[in-house]
Amino acid sequence: MDQGLETAADASLTDLWDRILGTQAAPETWLVIATGVVALAVVVPHGVWRLARNAITIAHEGGHGLVALLTGRRLDGIRLHSDTSGLTVSRGRPSGIGMILTAAAGYTAPPLLGLGGAALLGSRRITALLWIATALLVAMLVMIRNAYGVLTVVLTGGAFLLVSWLAGSEVQAAFAYAVVWFLLLGGVRPAFELQSKRRRGGAGDSDADQLSRLTHVPAGLWLFFFHAVSLCSLMGGARWLLAV
C-alpha cells in the first residue's frame, strides 16, 4: 500500500514537472499581435500607465534586490510606494563592482526580464514562464517591508497563480504574451521619464546619478545605457514573440 502511494506520488510529481517544463502549442499570430497592441495601449496613455507602472516598479526593485544578493550584499528590504516609486536597501561595501551592478540593475531589470520571457515564449514554454514569474514574486514578497508593497506583490502574484492553475491554454498564452509585451514596452518608458526629470533639474539622486558618483562616468552615459538595454531588449524580444 505504501509503495503504491509512493509510486502515485512520484507519478504526480513527474506529471507536474512535465507540465511546468514541457512545451505548449504556439498561439495564433493574431493573438501575439493583439496582446502587443493591448500592452502598448497600457503603456502609452498617462492615466493607465500611472497604475500599470506599479508592475514595472516591482521588476525594477526586484532587479536591485536580486543583483544585491548575487553580488554578496545583504538585502535588508524592499519598499513599494503608491506613487510607483520604490526603495531597495542593501548592506555591503558602499563602492565597488557589487554596488555598481546593484545600482545598474533597476532600470535594466524590466526589459531584460521581458527579453527572458520572450525567449521562453519563443520556445513555447508558456507554463514555465508563469511558474517562474510566480516563484520570483513569492521570493520578493519575503523582502517587502511595507503594507502597500505587500498588497501589490500579493495581487500580482495571485494573478499569475490563478492563471497558471485555473485558466485554459489559450487564456494562459494571452496572459503570458501580454505580460512579456508589457515588460518590453513598459521597460522603455521609465528611462525617458528619468531623462525628462533630469532635464528639468529633478531626480538628482536617481540610479544614473548614483552610478555616476560610483564610477565617475557622466550620468548621461548611464542614461544612454538604460536606453540601449531597453530598446535592444524590445527589438530582440519582439523578434522572438513574433516568430510563431
Q: Can you give the residue range of the structural domain that contains 36? A: 23-242
Long-range contacts of 36-39 (CB under 8 A, 24+ apart): 36/177, 36/181, 36/185, 36/238, 36/241, 38/178, 38/181, 39/178, 39/181, 39/182, 39/184, 39/185, 39/186
Domain annotation covers residue 1:
no
Q: CB of 244 within 8 A of CB of 223?
A: no
Domain annotation covers residue 17:
no
Domain annotation covers residue 15:
no
Q: What is the pLDDT of residues 8-58, one digit of tens each?
A: 555 565 665 666 666 778 899 999 999 999 999 999 999 999 999 999 999
What's the domain count of the chain?
1
What was the pLDDT predicted at 201? 82
* Percentage of residues in the chain having pLDDT higher than 70: 91
Q: CB of 91 within 8 A of CB of 98?
A: no
Which parts of the chain sit beneath pLDDT 70?
A: 1-22, 244
Domain annotation covers residue 185:
yes
Question: Is 185 exposed, middle or buried, given 0-12, 13-18 or 19+ CB atoms closer than 10 A?
Answer: buried
- Cβ neighbour number for residue 124 with a 10 Å cutoff: 16
Q: How far apart are CA 29 and CA 242, in angstroms?
A: 7
